[in-house]
Structure 1
Amino acid sequence: MADIYRPVRPPAPLREQVYESLEELILDGRLKAGERLVESDLAARLGVSRGPIREALQHLERDGWLEVRPRQGTYVREPQPDELQDYFWARKLLEVEAAGRAARRVRTSPDAAAPGLERLRRIVAKSEELTVGLPPKGVTDLTPEQAERRRQYRENSRQFHYAVGELSGSPALVELLVFLGKRTRWYFSSLGYNSRLDEHKALLGAIEQGDEDTVMSLMREHMDSMTSTSLAEIRSHA
């Protein structure tokens, strides 16, 4: 089995590098829910002393990624469906507003919005390129190249939502979307591939037209669909 851990390097403080490395492994599902994390093992794999490992684990527990079980150890926490529903509810409120603001900005300040709009177009074009020839949802027997393209598609889809937030012109909104995006991404790591390219295309089209009402309605439907699909899949595997 390939080693999923990569040695961390300066210049960032080691505890931050360890935190980011472990958080990414959790978000990608390479560290599974219920998996025990042992300080000495992590220190050897990441090439650091146990001090930064201990600090990072404490911060990961504080941030809700891990749980400490008395007399048992530290484990990757099991995400719960009610948490996902709550995070998606908050995401929907922000994403609908972000989409509306983005469309309004395209209509009222086209020059200022042009770079962000072009970025959205590139993201959608890249997603379309990545989906060509990919097996449908539910197929898990993938070649390494297909698995990598599927991973890139998921990342590109996340970037679409962040780009809509950036196009809204609100840095605070983007910061909140990134936080909530991580929380919902945690659940997606255990779910199958699910292309929503057509929905992203429709959202892009409404933003290009500066159609605030339509894009807010489309984003609301998009988020509702993502929520219901994800909850159904998680409950089916419970």
Structure 2
Amino acid sequence: MPARPGPLRDRVHEALLDLITSRALPPGRHLVESELARHLGVSRQPVREALQRLSTEGWVDLRPAQGAFVHEPTEAEAEQLGTVRTLLEGEAARLAATAAGADGVGALEVLCAEGERAVAAGDLDRAVALGARFHAKVIELSGNAVLAELAARIDRRVRWYHDPAARQRGPRAWAEHRAITAAIADGDAARATALMRAHTEHIRH
């Protein structure tokens, strides 16, 4: 486990969350305290505390007489999350179109170029990571700190739920990113909003 500042229980929580969101621990996986403690190089107590916290946050299911399991996302949960994401990111694109300067647009264009190269090279992990960076940049360019805070709270869950779909979309996703970037560059708030909403809806469906 990489060294990080803060209490041990927080570091263990973060390490387990990383393993879950990266799907190194896939949905439905039985989580055995002793195995996780050995893997992370810690005692069982901070692992137990982290699993309790992850259960409260909805990442882990604690089943009586069975133990802890990585939560398996339901269709209804994914639908609800997708709706919230569409609203937040549509608004972020609208605000970015009114606030982003040349440097911000340039950063989006660089991300698009890198994403397209990753897709062409068949590097899906990098393409997905760059896609997340693209969306984060649009949110940053919105200039709305409250919106950015809300988006950050659901970002990990969005990527966890929708990562498989994001991997399948490849070139189409980056064509949509290009169109969103062009709308922001043109200062066309209505078009940027519509394109971002359509983009997030494609992933949700």
Partner of 2:113: 125
How far is 1:190 from its partner? 4.3
Q: Which amino acid counterpart does residue 138 of structure 2 have in structure 1? A: V
Q: Which amino acid counterpart does residue 71 of structure 2 have in structure 1? A: R
The range that moved more, 196-205 or 15-24, is 15-24
Q: 1:56 and 1:123 mapped to 2: Cα distance?
A: 35
CA distances 1:176-210 after superposition (whole Å, capped 9, x unpaired): 11222222211234444321000000000110111
Q: 1:222 and 1:86 mapped to 2: Cα distance?
A: 16
What is the TM-score with the length of structure 1 in the denominator? 0.80
The correspondence of residues 30-49 of structure 1 with structure 2, limited to 5 A, is: 30-49=24-43
SS of the equivalent of 2:169 reads coil
Partner of 1:100: 94
Q: 1:173 and 1:10 mapped to 2: Cα distance?
A: 28
CA distances 1:98-126 after superposition (whole Å, capped 9, x unpaired): 101000113xxxxxx34432321221111
Unaligned regions of 5+ residues in structure 1, if any?
Answer: 1-6, 107-112, 135-148, 229-238
The correspondence of residues 15-164 of structure 1 with structure 2, limited to 5 A, is: 15-106=9-100, 113-134=101-122, 149-164=123-138
Q: Which amino acid counterpart does residue 153 of structure 1 have in structure 2? A: A
Q: Are the aligned partners of 1:123 and 1:160 in contact in 2 as well (CA < 8 Å)? A: yes
Partner of 1:3: none
SS of the equivalent of 1:75 reads strand
Q: Which amino acid counterpart does residue 184 of structure 2 have in structure 1? A: I
Partner of 2:144: 170
The range that moved more, 163-172 or 185-194, is 185-194
- Residue 224 of structure 1 pairs with residue 201 of structure 2: yes
Q: Which amino acid counterpart does residue 46 of structure 2 have in structure 1? A: P
Partner of 2:192: 215
How far is 1:61 from its partner? 0.6
Distance 1:98 1:132, change over 3 A: same
How far is 1:10 from its partner? 4.3
Aligned Cα root-mean-square deviation (Å): 1.5
Q: Which amino acid counterpart does residue 24 of structure 2 have in structure 1? A: R
- Residue 194 of structure 1 pairs with residue 169 of structure 2: yes
The range that moved more, 217-226 or 96-105, is 217-226
Q: 2:40 and 2:63 mapped to 1: Cα distance?
A: 23
Q: Which amino acid counterpart does residue 105 of structure 2 have in structure 1? A: L
CA distances 1:44-93 after superposition (whole Å, capped 9, x unpaired): 11011222211111111110000100011011011001011101111111
Alignment coverage as a number of residue pairs: 202
Percentage identity across paired residues of the two chains: 39
- Residue 204 of structure 1 pairs with residue 192 of structure 2: no
Q: 2:45 and 2:139 mapped to 1: Cα distance?
A: 37
Partner of 1:180: 154
Unaligned regions of 5+ residues in structure 2, if any?
Answer: none
Q: 1:37 and 1:165 mapped to 2: Cα distance?
A: 35
CA distances 1:131-177 after superposition (whole Å, capped 9, x unpaired): 1132xxxxxxxxxxxxxx21111111011111101000012211211
